A = this chain, B = another copy of it.
Amino acid sequence: MGAMALVARKQPVQPRARATVEAILSAAAGILEKDGPTRLTTNAVAAQAGVSIGSLYQYFPNKQALTAALIERSSGSLEKSVAQAGRDAKTMLFEAGLRVLVRSLVRHRLDRPALEHTLAFEERRLPLEDGAAKRATAVMRAFLEQHRGRLWVSDLNAAADDVLSMTRSLTEAAARRGERNVEVIEQRIVRALRGFLCR
Contact = CB atoms under 8 A, between A and B. Distances in A.
A196 interface: yes
A76 to B, nearest CB: 22
Can you tell how many copies of this chain the complex includes?
2
Interface in A156-199: 158, 161-162, 165-166, 168-170, 172-174, 177, 188, 191-196
A125 B162 CA distance: 25
A11 interface: no
Contacts of A125: 36, 38
A117 interface: yes
A124 interface: yes
A158 B176 CA distance: 10
Nearest to A179: B158
A194 B192 CA distance: 8
Interface residues of A, number: 26
A77 to B, nearest CB: 22
Interface in A68-113: none
A192 B162 CA distance: 11
B173 A161 contact: yes
Contacts of A173: 161-162, 165
Given A36-B125, A193-B192, A196-B192, A168 B166 contact: no
Contacts of A194: 195
Which of A161, A191, A196 is the most central at the interface, judged by chain B CB atoms within 10 Å of its CB?
A: A196
A56 B158 CA distance: 43
10 contacts: A38-B125, A121-B121, A161-B177, A162-B170, A162-B173, A165-B170, A166-B192, A192-B193, A192-B195, A195-B195
Interface of A: 36, 38, 117, 121, 124-125, 152, 158, 161-162, 165-166, 168-170, 172-174, 177, 188, 191-196
